[in-house]
Structure 1
Amino acid sequence: MTFAAVIFDFGGVITSSPFEAFNRLEAARGLPQNLVRKINTLNPDTNAWALFERAEIDAAEFDRLFAEEARALGHELDGASVLAVLAGAVRPAMVDALDRLKAEGYRLGCITNNVPTGHGAGMARSDDARDEMEQIFARFEHVIESSKAGVRKPDPRIYLMMCKKLELAPDACIYLDDLGINCKPAAALGMHAIKVTSGEQALADLGRALGMSLLN
């Protein structure tokens, strides 16, 4: 199979997984592990997280609704605290891979579910970190952010939006995401989907699909 483009998720692929940060927050608050993840899987199309990622509510409303969802499960956790830890650490090897792929002629896209507070997962960062994010996003030919598009993964429409921007058929694209639920619709459309469990694994799998080495 010959591929023309590689499409990346951002949080959990280019950066470390936000779930790691959520687990640290949960441990610090004495809350059950994976509570945030559990809250976000309940009513996945209409919960606070989904509404915020589609920019249908603002940060204050997210804070309130998320706290209500946590309270319904018997726990106290405000949405603002979750957003505060959302930023993941950049994986330098993934950024290097973007440059190598571009040098080899592959077109690069990014589809990210984010909130209306910035690029990536939409989190608070220092000025230097924001500059770093902008430099990374500049490497992509096209970026689709859920908070601007009004649609979020795993809705198949967001993948088709990227294909339209690239003017490519889905089967000419590779898609990487750390969530299986987001990989499934990409694969169903014909993309070569790679579920990311670590940066090294992602680069190894991507390299095999492209017939090149992306590991240093």
Structure 2
Amino acid sequence: MAARADIEAVIWDFGGVFTSSPFEAFNRYEAERGLPKDLIRRVNATNHHDNAWALFERNEVDADRFDQLFLEESAALGHPVRGRDVLPLLSGAVRPRMVAALKACKQHFKVGCITNNVVSMHSPGQDEIQRAAGAMGEIMPLFDAIIESSKAGVRKPDPKIYLMMCELLAVKPEACVYLDDLGINCKPAAALGMTAIKVMDVDQTLADLAEATGLSFETEDAV
């Protein structure tokens, strides 16, 4: 298969794309403590532009304030959870096939990463926990451009952050493919003209990415 001539860049989310979804860790935490399933996701989805998570990812509050605000927000839903207990759940296991897909895309397109993160997590490729995962340290240097919400002061799904990446890569939105594990983050990318792929599992993602880029990727049996 030949790379599509109308595609110039592939832009990636990080957590839940190159690593297993933190939602899995959230659910394990909830089950272990007898909390309702998806409680943490509900906290994060409530007032999602200005809640504790949003403020922390834009670096507008520090870790102590996040801890307090998240506790207040979860308590308002009937189940108090400290923010400091949630942060360690963010690191996931590396998905080697997704890393291989990134390397394949880099041979034909510009590649960028837009990640919502917090200062205490550092850059996804430098975090102590993630570096301990082995292959993680090789991922971030592959990108031509990286935007971290905690450094940029803007976070997904604000359309500004996608346009910032387009400017860095010198491409138009309609010449981009965008991958994210959250539909709410895919919608503004699609509205700008990008080909948006919601990452649900690796097989589905690689099939959708192959269709969007014209490239072929290794099947599970070949890995």
TM-score by length of 2: 0.91
Contact 1:67 1:76 in 2 (8 A): yes
- Percent identity, aligned pairs only, is 59
Aligned counterpart, 1:63:
67
TM-aligned CA deviation for residue 101 of structure 1: 1.4
Give the Cα–Cα distance (whole angstroms) in 1 for the partners of residues 128 and 194 of structure 2.
Answer: 32
Give the Cα–Cα distance (whole angstroms) in 1 for the partners of residues 22 and 64 of structure 2.
Answer: 21
TM-aligned CA deviation for residue 81 of structure 1: 0.9
| 1:131-170 superposed Cα distances (whole Å, 9 cap, x missing partner) | 7433211110001010100000000000000000001000
Residue 92 of structure 2 is aligned to residue 84 of structure 1: no
Residue 163 of structure 2 is aligned to residue 160 of structure 1: yes
Aligned partner (choices 180, 183, 205) of residue 183 of structure 2: 180
How much is the aligned-residue C-alpha RMSD, in angstroms? 1.7
| 1:162-184 superposed Cα distances (whole Å, 9 cap, x missing partner) | 00000100011000011111111
Aligned counterpart, 2:24:
20
| 1:96-129 superposed Cα distances (whole Å, 9 cap, x missing partner) | 11111122x2111000111112223997616533
Contact 2:131 2:137 in 1 (8 A): no
What secondary structure does 2:142 align onto? coil
Residue 112 of structure 2 is aligned to residue 109 of structure 1: yes
Aligned counterpart, 2:103:
99
Aligned partner (choices 119, 123, 129) of residue 125 of structure 1: 129
TM-score by length of 1: 0.94
Cα 1:97–1:126 shift into 2, 3 Å = closer
Aligned partner (choices 143, 147, 150) of residue 146 of structure 2: 143
Give the Cα–Cα distance (whole angstroms) in 2 for the partners of residues 121 and 113 of structure 1.
Answer: 13
Output the amino acid matched with 2:14.
Answer: F
Aligned counterpart, 2:212:
209
Contact 1:10 1:111 in 2 (8 A): yes
Output the amino acid matched with 1:22.
Answer: F
What secondary structure does 2:93 align onto? coil
Aligned counterpart, 2:41:
37
Give the Cα–Cα distance (whole angstroms) in 2 for the partners of residues 122 and 151 of structure 1.
Answer: 21
